[in-house]
C-alpha cells in the first residue's frame, strides 16, 4: 500500500486497473480523516462496497465526497455468493469510470493545496521508529480479531501519528460498532500488552 495519500481519481483508476485484469480480493481504502472502506471484487466484478458503515450505493455516494485516500489490494479468491443488494447502474457506472469527469478538476485543486500545506508544515519525526515491533505486532493481532483484514492498515495509520500504544488502542477502538465491543477490544489489547512486560 502506498504511504502517500493520493487524489481519489488516482485511487479509483487503480481500482479500475484491478477490474480490467479480472482480479479477485479486497480493496482497502483509508482517507486522510481515517475513514475506511472495502470494495470486494470477484473476477473483476464489484460485488460489494462498504465505506464508513455505509453499504453499496450509499457507500459509493460517501466515497464520491472524499478528496484523497490510500489503497491496498489483498488478493483473495473469494467465492461469489451473489449480491444481496446490488449496486444500481448509476453507482456502478460512476465507480468504473464515471468519476473521471467529476473528479478531474477537483484533483488538480487538491494537489495544489496538498503541495502548499506540505511546504508549510515540517514533517514530524516518524513515531513508528520509537515503538517496539513486538508491541505493534501484539496490538495488530488483537485488532485483527475485531476489525478483520483491514486491521493491519488501520494499525499502520494509527502508529504513524501516535507513539503511545494505549493511544493507538483507544484510536482503533473508535472503528468498532458498539461501546461494548470497543471496551472488550481495549481490555483484550491491554491484557496482551501487559503480558509483554
Residues 98 and 137 in one domain: no
Residues 115 and 31 in one domain: yes
Contacts of 71 (CB under 8 A, 6+ apart): 1, 2, 6, 11, 14, 15, 27, 28, 29
Of the candidates 60, 85, 120, which is a domain's last residue?
120
Return contacts of 104-108, CB within 8 angstroms, 24+ apart.
104/9, 106/7, 106/8, 106/9, 106/67, 107/7, 107/8, 107/9, 107/10
Mean pLDDT confidence for 150-172: 86
Asked if residue 35 is part of any domain, the answer here is yes
The vertex-86 CA angle with 85 and 88, nearest 5°, equals: 125
Could you tell me the residue range of the domain that residue 108 belongs to? 6-120
Residues 138 and 170 in one domain: yes
Asked if residue 108 is part of any domain, the answer here is yes
Residues 99 and 144 in one domain: no
Residues 87 and 140 in one domain: no
Q: Which stretch of DSSP H or E encloses residue 196?
A: helix 179-196
Of the candidates 76, 92, 120, which is a domain's last residue?
120
* 108-156 residue pLDDT tens: 544 555 555 555 554 444 444 457 889 999 999 999 888 887 888 888 8
pLDDT for the residue numbered 132: 83
Residues 100 and 31 in one domain: yes
Q: Using alpha carbons only, how large is the chain's radius of gyration in Å?
A: 18
* 15-69 residue pLDDT tens: 999 999 999 999 999 988 888 899 999 999 999 999 988 889 998 989 988 889 9
CA distance 14 to 171: 28
pLDDT for the residue numbered 14: 93
Residues 90 and 133 in one domain: no
Asked if residue 1 is part of any domain, the answer here is no
Global pTM value: 0.56
Residues 111 and 144 in one domain: no
Residues 26 and 110 in one domain: yes
Residues 66 and 151 in one domain: no
Backbone angles phi, psi at 92, to 5 degrees: -60, -40
pLDDT for the residue numbered 186: 92
Residues 35 and 108 in one domain: yes
Structural domains in the chain (count): 2
Residues 91 and 138 in one domain: no
* 88-115 residue pLDDT tens: 888 888 888 888 877 776 555 445 555 5
Of the candidates 78, 105, 120, which is a domain's last residue?
120
Q: What is the DSSP letter of 188?
A: H
Amino acid at each position: 500500500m502506498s504511504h502517500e495519500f493520493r487524489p481519489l481519481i488516482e485511487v479509483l483508476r487503480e481500482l479500475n486497473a484491478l477490474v480490467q485484469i479480472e482480479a479477485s480480493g479486497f480493496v482497502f481504502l483509508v482517507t486522510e480523516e481515517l475513514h475506511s472502506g472495502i470494495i470486494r471484487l470477484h473476477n473483476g466484478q464489484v460485488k460489494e462496497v462498504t465505506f464508513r458503515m455505509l453499504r453499496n450505493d450509499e457507500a459509493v455516494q460517501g466515497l464520491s465526497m472524499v478528496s484523497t485516500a490510500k489503497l491496498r489490494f489483498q488478493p483473495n479468491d473469494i467465492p461469489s455468493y451473489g449480491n444481496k443488494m446490488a449496486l444500481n447502474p448509476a453507482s456502478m457506472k460512476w465507480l468504473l469510470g464515471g468519476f473521471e469527469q467529476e473528479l478531474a478538476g477537483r484533483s488538480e485543486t487538491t494537489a495544489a493545496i496538498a503541495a502548499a500545506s506540505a511546504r508549510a508544515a515540517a514533517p514530524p519525526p516518524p513515531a513508528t521508529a520509537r515503538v517496539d515491533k513486538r508491541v505493534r505486532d501484539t496490538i495488530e493481532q488483537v485488532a485483527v480479531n475485531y476489525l478483520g483484514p483491514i486491521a493491519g492498515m488501520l494499525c499502520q495509520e494509527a502508529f504513524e501519528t501516535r507513539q503511545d500504544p494505549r493511544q493507538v488502542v483507544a484510536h482503533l477502538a473508535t472503528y468498532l460498532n458498539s461501546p461494548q465491543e470497543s471496551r472488550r477490544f481495549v481490555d483484550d489489547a491491554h491484557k496482551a500488552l501487559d503480558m509483554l512486560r
